[in-house]
Copies of this chain bind each other. A is one copy, B any other.
Amino acid sequence: MGSIGGKKNYKLTISYDGTDFKGWQKQKGSADDTIQGKLEHIANILNGCETAVDGAGRTDAGVHARKQVASVKIDCDKDAGFIRDYFNRYLPAAISVDGVEEVPERFHARLSAREKTYEYNALTAKKAPVFDRKYIYCYGKDVDGEKMKRACADLVGTHDFKGFCTASPKKKSTVRTITAANVTVSDTCLPEEGGKRPKAVRITLSGDGFLYNEVRIIAGTLLEIGSGSLPEDAVRKVLETCDRSLAGFTAPPEGLFLTDVKY
């Protein structure tokens, strides 16, 4: 199917713990401490020449992926199982290629993506359980889940998300569509803090694309609405005015996971 000049096109399904990396995207002139950099280094050796590995979502430094998708063109004489094993043998333990599948030549992980889903995990506790500490953000304040759910519903639809973006590019469109937005607030069995049992917060957003820091600013805004630091209509106001200053803080990267990409 995807054979071009002796190469086939492959879709890689990848998971990674982003804690110790400077994000997905390879950086010019810097040491090789990005996910893309690690993957391209191995792809280069596999093909014996410079090889691009394109990812569906360019996750920030410290952000994790349970399911990232990338596309890469590899010499025809390698099969999918060999390619997966080869990547996994040389990748650090914090990155795993979980699946390799041959795809049509025109498939591109980012350009062909129809929908991405991100999940943001937070706790109202001050200190995280030790085994989750790199994968959840401790907000340290109690939240009203119902307020967060009502505010979250305002996100769904096609809007200009400029107010939920850090340093938006001047000329590019900041209009995107969020197809699903959910908040769940659940009880935990963690020790009480100040007489209250900490709660677990999970914010899930699906959409056609997300701006720089968008999910983290939305998460920060929803948490501040939940704790009462921002008014209940803050999400609607930011969408109407595109005013970043009306939104909440940028929630830290450790709570964020890319969890799915649909084509």
Give residues in A with beta carbon < 8 Å to B. 15-17, 64, 66, 84, 88, 93-96, 98-99, 126-131, 133, 135, 190-191
Contact A129 B191 (CB under 8 A): no
Counting every copy of the chain, the complex holds: 2
Cβ contacts A to B, 22 pairs, < 8 Å: A15-B129, A15-B130, A15-B131, A16-B130, A17-B130, A17-B131, A64-B131, A66-B131, A84-B191, A88-B126, A88-B127, A93-B127, A93-B128, A93-B130, A94-B130, A95-B130, A96-B127, A96-B129, A96-B130, A98-B191, A99-B191, A131-B135
Q: Which among B16, B66, B133, B190 is the interface contact of A93 at CB below 8 angstroms? A: B133
Q: In the assembly, what is the distance between CA of A17 and CA of B190, in Å?
A: 17
Least CB distance, A111 to chain B, in whole angstroms = 26
Least CB distance, A28 to chain B, in whole angstroms = 26
Residues from chain B with a CB closer than 8 A to the CB of A126 are 88
| Nearest B-chain residue to A191, judged by Cβ | B98
| Nearest B-chain residue to A126, judged by Cβ | B88
Residues from chain B with a CB closer than 8 A to the CB of A95 are 130
Residues from chain B with a CB closer than 8 A to the CB of A15 are 129-131
In the A-B complex, the 5 residue pairs with the closest CB atoms: A93-B133, A17-B130, A96-B130, A15-B130, A88-B127
